[in-house]
Amino acid sequence: MITHAMEDYLKAIYLLQKGEEKVSTTAIAEQMNVSAPSVTGMIRKLTTMGLIDHTSYQGVQLTEGGKKVAKEVLRHHRLLELYLVEIMGFTWDKVHDEADKLEHVISEEFEEKMSDALGHPTTDPHGHAIPAKDGAVKEVSYETLAEVEPGSFATVEQVNDNNPEMLRYLDNLEIVPGALVQVVAKEPFNGPLHLKIDQAEHFIGLEVAHNVFVEVSEKEAN
């Protein structure tokens, strides 16, 4: 039996893994806001169940089975986020927490009805890919806005969705997936990012810029 807690761990591990690297106990503990011993305990259980591989003191990796479960949960989560925004009229800062609770309890039919109503979408309101029913995901890794060189134009692709306050802030500035942003400068020194968005000029902190993922269009346009 896979419990809600197990689903949460598998999802966290899925989101933390980059390529073939093992995911550490501490990283999972931080992501989930639990203690390291709690993670060790769950790791033992998930390993026994064949959902992860564990090398003592080295970290864990999802097995194919574990990856399948994680993607199903993530599909629920991201479909829910989009459904809440598009169909129910939630603002995008509220949907992460709501989806975190709902993702574990909705039926496959509920998932299907949402997907139908939304026209089988592939990205959620924050620009994250929605895994397909068969597990296919187009996981792209983008640059962060903080890394973009001054003078460049960049299209916003993704925004981290775990901080409601930041999401409201970004929404005000129209820094949302699809928006075109011009990075004017980092000033005075690695300082606030000077941006031009749709004529308006803004300064945003570097920490915030680290949560915005972009595709650079051109180094110098007009």
Partner DNA sequence: TTTGAAATTTAGGGCTGACTAAATCTAAAT
Partner DNA sequence: ATTTAGATTTAGTCAGCCCTAAATTTCAAA
State which of positions 136-175 bind DNA (CB under 7 A). none
Query: Which of 24, 54, 68, 90: binder of its own copies (CB under 8 A)?
Result: 90
Q: Does 99 bind DNA (CB under 7 A)?
A: no
Beta strands in the chain (DSSP E): 52-55, 59-62, 143-144, 153-159, 180-186, 193-197, 200-204, 212-218
State which of positions 46-85 bind DNA (CB under 7 A). 54, 56-59
Query: Which of 2, 40, 49, 110: binder of its own copies (CB under 8 A)?
Result: 110
Burial of 101 (0-12, 13-18, 19+ CB in 10 A): exposed
Burial of 178 (0-12, 13-18, 19+ CB in 10 A): exposed
Query: Which of 22, 45, 54, 113: binder of its own copies (CB under 8 A)?
Result: 113
Query: Which of 33, 55, 56, 107: binder of its own copies (CB under 8 A)?
Result: 107
Up-side HSE of residue 133: CA atoms within 13 Å toward CB?
A: 10
Q: Which is nearer to DNA, 27 or 118 (CB)?
A: 27
Dist. CA 25–CA 29, nearest whole Å: 6
Query: Which of 89, 119, 178, 188: binder of its own copies (CB under 8 A)?
Result: 89
Positions touching its own copies (CB under 8 A) are: 84, 87-90, 94, 97-98, 101-102, 105-107, 109-110, 113-114, 117
